[in-house]
Amino acid sequence: MPLLSLLQAQQSFFLYRPKPWFKFPRTPFLCSSRMSSNSNSLQNYPTPLSPPLPAISKDIELARAMTASSKSSLFGLSRSDVLYEDEWLIAVNKPKGIYCDAVLASVPRFLSDSPESDRLCEENQSSALELHLANRLDRDTSGVMVITKSHKVASMLVKAFTNHTVQKTYVAFCIGSAPQSERITIKSGHGRSKFGAWRVYSAGDVGRKLPGGSVVRDMETTFEVLSINGQRSHKEPSECMKDEENCVVVEEKAVTDVDAKKDEILVRAFPRSGRTHQIRLHCQYLGFSIRGDVKYEGVYEWKGTIYDAHELHAESLSFQHPITGFPLMIQAPLPSWASQALQLLTN
């Protein structure tokens, strides 16, 4: 190519080269100002008052999760698991070590194989079931789980849970320092720390922002002590309501005496709110973590026995039926560890 043509081509290239669409900021110090602001906001997050996850929990929890995944993939709901059923609801006794979603996934197959379910739904054969979990339980928590059969019933029942009109009872076997009162109500904050773990926060921090954009929410649980080291006769919940109770409003970190005598404590819990890991967190804060609950300082080995799950059971749910309006109480049979502990009290 002649030199003149080459120069013209280069000139043409530079004349039509597109200009960059972005511009560099003229005031670079604004960037450092924002970083400083973010740094200050990090320092203003509320401080969790319960301990971080123990190092031992990481490997144990991973192993438990893998085992639960295998069991859940094979899980099938049986008639003996069903506690209550009508054309709007089905309540089941979830086994420990099974994920809630696996139970939900097994319901259609169970309903299709059940003559009784066919009878209940014969008027709605043309419409597909719209199954929803009305409540969720932790992987290793057993007990009452309610599944609704339509969007309408699901929204009504979820509203009942949100408004705290559903009464819940749990039973837990704990190891730690025995409380002085037979009845304790604890009020605190609840939220995720900057590391993503659920923690107890001060009751005064409710409403404050947390890392990740969430806020500290209120959390309240009442505990009834059923037995300590196999002694002390338990009362029915209605009788225990009449007793004086000790109210703990969380404002500072719990002080735990690691050298204190470890007692075996059977408790019944009445959670008012429904926060994730609520009972487990409150047991930890009060100094009697649930046996086997390694995530919240529960013992992994006790008296020569290794525990592959925490001992927490959703005992009952009481609520007004979302369609009929009648009061409904659904109760699950106690697991062996709870029934054996209560049996000792009657001997």
What's the CA gap between 303 and 12, in Å, rounded?
87
Asked if the structure places residue 236 within a domain, the reply is: yes
Q: Is residue 184 part of a domain?
A: yes
In the predicted model, is pLDDT for residue 10 greater than 70? no
Where among 141, 163, 185 does a domain terminate?
A: 163
At position 81, the amino acid (one-letter code) is: D
Helix pair 100-113, 56-74: axis angle to 10 deg: 10
pLDDT of residue 259: 75
Instruction: Work out the mean pLDDT of the chain and round it to a whole number.
Output: 84
- Are 298 and 221 part of one and the same domain? yes
In angstroms, the CA 253 to CA 250 distance is 8
Locate the DSSP E strands across 116-237: 132-133, 142-148, 167-176, 183-192, 198-201, 217-228
Average pLDDT over residues 181-208: 95
* Together in a domain, 134 and 242: no
Inter-CA distances, 263 with 202, 229, 297, 314, Å: 27, 6, 15, 23
Of 180, 194, 201, 181, nearest in space to 285 by CA: 201
In the predicted model, is pLDDT for residue 9 greater than 60?
no
Distance CA 179, CA 202 (A): 21
Share of the chain above pLDDT 90, in %: 69
In the predicted model, is pLDDT for residue 31 greater than 50? no
**Is residue 230, in this structure, part of any structural domain at all?**
yes
Residue 29 covered by a domain: no
Torsion of CA 71, 76, 333, 152, to 10 degrees: 120
Statement to judge: residues 68 and 199 lie in one domain: no
Helices (H), 132-277: 151-162, 237-240
Per the structure, how many domains does the chain have?
2
At position 142, the amino acid (one-letter code) is S
Q: What is the mean pLDDT of residues 252-273?
A: 89
Among 29, 65, 47, 80, smallest CA distance to 309 is for 65
Residue 301 and residue 171 in one domain: yes
CA distance 212 to 137: 24
Q: Is pLDDT above 60 for 74?
A: yes
Query: Is 34 domain-assigned?
Result: no
Two tokens at 172? Answer: 């837990």
The pLDDT, as a whole number, for residue 3 is: 41
My answer on whether 183 and 106 are in the same domain is: no
Give the span between the Cα atoms of 85 and 263, in whole angstroms: 40
Q: Is 210 a member of any domain?
A: yes
Separation CA 267–CA 21 (nearest Å): 66
Q: Distance between CA atoms of 170 and 269, rounded to whole angstroms?
A: 5
Q: What is the per-residue pLDDT for 49? A: 96
Residues 171 and 134 in one domain: no
Per the structure, the complete domain to which residue 299 belongs is given by 165-310
Same-domain check for residues 231 and 178:
yes
Which is more confidently placed, 261 or 46?
46
175 lies in the same domain as 159: no
In a domain, 299, yes or no: yes
Q: Kindly state the average pLDDT of the residues 4-13.
A: 44
End position of a domain, from candidates 103, 128, 163 = 163
CATH number for the domain spanning 144: value is: 3.30.70
Q: Does 26 have pLDDT greater than 50?
A: no
Q: Tell me the pLDDT tens digit for each residue of 107-122.
A: 999 988 766 555 555 5
What is the CA angle 63-259-234, rounded to 5? Answer: 75
What's the confidence (pLDDT) of residue 129?
Answer: 81
Residue 13 placed within a domain: no
Strands (DSSP E) contained in the chain are 82-85, 89-94, 132-133, 142-148, 167-176, 183-192, 198-201, 217-228, 246-249, 263-271, 288-290, 301-302, 305-306, 312-320, 327-331
Catalytic residue among 81, 138, 140, 205: 138
User: Is 138 one of the catalytic residues?
Assistant: yes
Residue 305, helix vs strand vs coil? strand
Whether residue 297 has pLDDT greater than 80: yes
Give the Cα separation of 184 and 16 in Å (integer): 79
The verdict on 243 and 207 lying in the same domain is yes
**Residue where a domain stops, chosen among 138, 163, 188:** 163
Mean pLDDT along residues 77-102: 96
Residue with tokens 């404002």: 251
More confident residue, 196 or 240: 196
pLDDT (0 to 100) of residue 260: 81
Residues 145 and 258 reside in one and the same domain: no
On whether both 180 and 283 belong to a single domain, the answer is: yes
Residues 115 and 207 in one domain: no
Please give the Cα distance from 318 to 169 (Å, whole number). Answer: 9
Q: Which residue, 276, 280, 309, is CA-closest to 170?
A: 280
pLDDT at 71 over 70: yes
Q: 172 falls in which pLDDT band (50, 70, 90)?
A: very high
- pTM over cut 0.95: no
Bridge-partner residues for 225, per DSSP?
267
Judged against a pLDDT cut of 80, whether residue 16 lies above it is answered with no
Could you report the per-residue pLDDT of 113-147, keeping only the tens digit for each? 766 555 555 544 445 789 999 999 999 999 999 99
Residue with tokens 């009060």: 286
